[in-house]
Amino acid sequence: MNDQWTDRLSEYVDGELANGERAALEAHLTTCAACRGAARELRQVVARARALDDRAPKADLWAGVAKRIGAGKVVDIRSRRFSFNVPQLIAASIALIVLSGGGAWLALRPRQTQPSTVGSRFAPRGGLTLAVSTGRTDAAIADLQDVFERNKSRLDTSTVRVVRQAFSTIDRAIAEARTALEADPGNAYLNLHLADTMRRKLELLRRVNAIAAAQS
Protein backbone atom coordinates (compact mmCIF):
# COMPACT_ATOMS: atom_id res chain seq x y z
CA MET A 1 0.00 0.00 0.00
CA ASN A 2 1.65 3.20 -1.07
CA ASP A 3 -0.41 5.54 -3.13
CA GLN A 4 -0.71 9.32 -3.18
CA TRP A 5 -3.10 9.26 -0.23
CA THR A 6 -1.20 7.00 2.13
CA ASP A 7 0.79 9.79 3.75
CA ARG A 8 -2.33 11.91 4.24
CA LEU A 9 -4.29 9.34 6.22
CA SER A 10 -3.26 10.67 9.64
CA GLU A 11 -4.34 14.17 8.68
CA TYR A 12 -7.62 12.69 7.51
CA VAL A 13 -8.09 10.78 10.77
CA ASP A 14 -7.36 13.99 12.70
CA GLY A 15 -9.84 16.00 10.62
CA GLU A 16 -7.10 18.31 9.36
CA LEU A 17 -7.67 18.04 5.61
CA ALA A 18 -9.30 20.85 3.71
CA ASN A 19 -12.81 20.11 2.45
CA GLY A 20 -11.71 19.42 -1.13
CA GLU A 21 -8.93 17.06 -0.10
CA ARG A 22 -11.14 15.28 2.39
CA ALA A 23 -13.79 14.66 -0.23
CA ALA A 24 -11.19 13.37 -2.67
CA LEU A 25 -9.67 11.06 -0.08
CA GLU A 26 -13.07 9.75 0.97
CA ALA A 27 -13.82 9.00 -2.65
CA HIS A 28 -10.51 7.14 -2.82
CA LEU A 29 -11.37 5.14 0.30
CA THR A 30 -14.47 3.76 -1.36
CA THR A 31 -12.28 2.01 -3.90
CA CYS A 32 -9.08 1.27 -1.91
CA ALA A 33 -9.46 -1.41 0.74
CA ALA A 34 -5.85 -1.02 1.87
CA CYS A 35 -6.22 2.68 2.67
CA ARG A 36 -9.60 2.04 4.26
CA GLY A 37 -8.06 -0.56 6.56
CA ALA A 38 -5.10 1.65 7.33
CA ALA A 39 -7.36 4.55 8.30
CA ARG A 40 -9.30 2.27 10.62
CA GLU A 41 -6.11 1.02 12.25
CA LEU A 42 -4.72 4.52 12.64
CA ARG A 43 -7.85 5.41 14.58
CA GLN A 44 -7.21 2.39 16.79
CA VAL A 45 -3.66 3.57 17.44
CA VAL A 46 -4.93 7.04 18.40
CA ALA A 47 -7.53 5.54 20.70
CA ARG A 48 -4.92 3.30 22.33
CA ALA A 49 -2.61 6.25 22.91
CA ARG A 50 -5.38 8.21 24.60
CA ALA A 51 -6.24 5.27 26.83
CA LEU A 52 -2.73 4.77 28.20
CA ASP A 53 -2.66 4.75 31.96
CA ASP A 54 -0.17 6.72 33.96
CA ARG A 55 1.94 4.43 36.10
CA ALA A 56 3.71 5.13 39.34
CA PRO A 57 7.50 5.00 39.47
CA LYS A 58 8.81 1.74 40.89
CA ALA A 59 10.39 3.54 43.83
CA ASP A 60 9.15 6.48 45.84
CA LEU A 61 11.09 9.45 44.50
CA TRP A 62 9.97 11.95 47.13
CA ALA A 63 12.96 11.40 49.40
CA GLY A 64 15.31 12.54 46.65
CA VAL A 65 13.17 15.56 45.85
CA ALA A 66 12.85 16.46 49.53
CA LYS A 67 16.59 16.30 50.01
CA ARG A 68 17.25 18.57 47.06
CA ILE A 69 14.70 21.20 48.04
CA GLY A 70 15.77 21.14 51.66
CA ALA A 71 12.47 19.86 53.00
CA GLY A 72 12.61 19.32 56.73
CA LYS A 73 14.69 22.42 57.23
CA VAL A 74 13.06 25.57 58.46
CA VAL A 75 12.35 27.62 55.37
CA ASP A 76 12.59 31.36 55.71
CA ILE A 77 9.57 32.62 53.83
CA ARG A 78 11.31 35.93 53.26
CA SER A 79 14.01 34.11 51.31
CA ARG A 80 11.48 32.83 48.78
CA ARG A 81 10.17 35.23 46.23
CA PHE A 82 6.67 34.50 45.07
CA SER A 83 4.28 36.50 43.01
CA PHE A 84 0.84 35.44 44.08
CA ASN A 85 -1.10 38.64 44.13
CA VAL A 86 -3.36 39.69 46.95
CA PRO A 87 -6.60 38.30 45.48
CA GLN A 88 -4.92 34.94 44.82
CA LEU A 89 -3.79 34.68 48.40
CA ILE A 90 -7.22 35.75 49.55
CA ALA A 91 -8.72 32.99 47.42
CA ALA A 92 -6.30 30.43 48.80
CA SER A 93 -6.89 31.45 52.39
CA ILE A 94 -10.65 31.39 51.92
CA ALA A 95 -10.49 27.97 50.32
CA LEU A 96 -8.43 26.78 53.26
CA ILE A 97 -10.95 28.18 55.71
CA VAL A 98 -13.85 26.66 53.84
CA LEU A 99 -12.16 23.28 53.59
CA SER A 100 -11.21 23.22 57.25
CA GLY A 101 -14.67 24.45 58.15
CA GLY A 102 -16.20 21.71 56.04
CA GLY A 103 -13.98 19.16 57.73
CA ALA A 104 -15.03 20.39 61.14
CA TRP A 105 -18.63 20.27 60.04
CA LEU A 106 -18.18 16.68 58.90
CA ALA A 107 -16.64 15.82 62.24
CA LEU A 108 -19.36 17.53 64.22
CA ARG A 109 -22.32 16.77 62.02
CA PRO A 110 -24.68 14.28 63.60
CA ARG A 111 -25.83 11.34 61.55
CA GLN A 112 -29.24 11.77 60.04
CA THR A 113 -30.73 8.94 62.03
CA GLN A 114 -29.65 10.43 65.32
CA PRO A 115 -31.29 13.42 66.96
CA SER A 116 -29.03 16.42 67.22
CA THR A 117 -27.61 17.10 70.61
CA VAL A 118 -24.49 19.01 69.71
CA GLY A 119 -25.11 22.69 70.09
CA SER A 120 -28.76 22.40 70.93
CA ARG A 121 -28.19 24.44 74.05
CA PHE A 122 -27.05 27.28 71.85
CA ALA A 123 -29.73 27.02 69.22
CA PRO A 124 -31.27 30.24 67.94
CA ARG A 125 -34.81 30.21 69.16
CA GLY A 126 -37.23 29.24 66.43
CA GLY A 127 -34.67 29.92 63.72
CA LEU A 128 -36.01 33.46 63.33
CA THR A 129 -32.83 35.14 64.53
CA LEU A 130 -30.83 33.38 61.85
CA ALA A 131 -33.23 34.38 59.08
CA VAL A 132 -33.16 38.03 60.06
CA SER A 133 -29.39 38.25 60.43
CA THR A 134 -28.58 36.52 57.15
CA GLY A 135 -31.16 38.67 55.41
CA ARG A 136 -29.24 41.79 56.34
CA THR A 137 -25.96 40.24 55.34
CA ASP A 138 -27.43 39.04 52.07
CA ALA A 139 -28.45 42.60 51.26
CA ALA A 140 -25.01 43.93 52.12
CA ILE A 141 -23.36 41.27 49.98
CA ALA A 142 -25.68 42.07 47.10
CA ASP A 143 -24.82 45.77 47.32
CA LEU A 144 -21.09 45.12 47.36
CA GLN A 145 -21.45 42.59 44.55
CA ASP A 146 -23.11 45.30 42.44
CA VAL A 147 -20.18 47.62 43.13
CA PHE A 148 -17.76 44.87 42.12
CA GLU A 149 -19.61 44.23 38.87
CA ARG A 150 -19.51 47.93 38.03
CA ASN A 151 -15.81 48.33 38.81
CA LYS A 152 -14.33 44.99 37.82
CA SER A 153 -13.12 46.39 34.47
CA ARG A 154 -10.50 48.31 36.47
CA LEU A 155 -8.92 45.04 37.53
CA ASP A 156 -6.90 42.79 35.28
CA THR A 157 -8.65 39.71 33.99
CA SER A 158 -6.55 37.23 35.96
CA THR A 159 -7.43 39.02 39.19
CA VAL A 160 -11.13 38.99 38.31
CA ARG A 161 -10.91 35.29 37.52
CA VAL A 162 -9.27 34.47 40.83
CA VAL A 163 -11.77 36.58 42.73
CA ARG A 164 -14.65 34.85 40.98
CA GLN A 165 -13.18 31.48 41.92
CA ALA A 166 -13.04 32.66 45.52
CA PHE A 167 -16.67 33.83 45.34
CA SER A 168 -17.64 30.48 43.91
CA THR A 169 -15.88 28.63 46.73
CA ILE A 170 -17.53 30.80 49.38
CA ASP A 171 -20.95 30.58 47.76
CA ARG A 172 -20.74 26.79 47.75
CA ALA A 173 -19.83 26.81 51.41
CA ILE A 174 -22.74 29.13 52.17
CA ALA A 175 -25.13 26.92 50.22
CA GLU A 176 -23.89 23.81 52.01
CA ALA A 177 -24.25 25.42 55.39
CA ARG A 178 -27.79 26.53 54.56
CA THR A 179 -28.72 23.08 53.35
CA ALA A 180 -27.33 21.56 56.50
CA LEU A 181 -29.16 24.10 58.65
CA GLU A 182 -32.46 23.20 57.04
CA ALA A 183 -31.99 19.69 58.44
CA ASP A 184 -30.51 20.83 61.74
CA PRO A 185 -31.45 24.47 62.43
CA GLY A 186 -30.35 24.26 66.02
CA ASN A 187 -26.75 23.37 65.28
CA ALA A 188 -24.62 26.11 66.80
CA TYR A 189 -21.54 25.22 64.79
CA LEU A 190 -23.40 25.45 61.51
CA ASN A 191 -24.91 28.80 62.46
CA LEU A 192 -21.50 30.18 63.33
CA HIS A 193 -19.95 28.63 60.23
CA LEU A 194 -22.59 30.23 57.99
CA ALA A 195 -22.22 33.62 59.64
CA ASP A 196 -18.42 33.45 59.49
CA THR A 197 -18.41 32.41 55.84
CA MET A 198 -20.77 35.23 54.90
CA ARG A 199 -18.65 37.68 56.85
CA ARG A 200 -15.62 36.52 54.89
CA LYS A 201 -17.42 37.12 51.63
CA LEU A 202 -18.20 40.64 52.81
CA GLU A 203 -14.56 41.18 53.71
CA LEU A 204 -13.39 39.89 50.35
CA LEU A 205 -15.85 42.10 48.48
CA ARG A 206 -14.76 45.13 50.47
CA ARG A 207 -11.09 44.45 49.82
CA VAL A 208 -11.55 43.77 46.12
CA ASN A 209 -13.72 46.87 45.71
CA ALA A 210 -11.09 48.91 47.51
CA ILE A 211 -8.42 47.57 45.16
CA ALA A 212 -10.60 48.38 42.16
CA ALA A 213 -11.30 51.88 43.50
CA ALA A 214 -7.57 52.45 43.92
CA GLN A 215 -7.07 51.74 40.21
CA SER A 216 -9.26 54.65 39.16
Asked whether 29 and 36 are in contact (CB, 8 A), the reply is yes
CA–CA distance, 167 with 90 (Å, rounded to integer)? 11
* Near another protein by CB under 8 A: residue from 24, 32, 95, 123: 95
For residue 22, the number of C-alpha atoms closer than 13 Å in the C-beta half-sphere is: 9
CB 180 within 8 A of CB 187: yes
Stretch that binds another protein, among 121-129, 164-172, 185-193, 196-204 (CB under 8 A): 164-172
CA-wise closest residue to 12 among 39, 50, 49: 39
Contact 165, 91 (CB under 8 A): yes
Any contact of residue 62 with another protein (CB under 8 A)? yes
For another protein, which residue of 20, 70, 115, 125 counts as binding (CB under 8 A)?
A: 70
Find the part of the chain contacting another protein (CB under 8 A) among 27-35, 83-91, 197-205, 208-216. Answer: 83-91
Q: Residues interacting with another protein, by CB under 8 A?
A: 7, 9-11, 16, 38, 41-42, 44-46, 48-59, 61-62, 64-66, 68-72, 75-77, 79-85, 88-89, 91-93, 95-96, 98-99, 102-103, 106, 111-113, 158, 161-162, 165, 169, 172, 175-176, 179
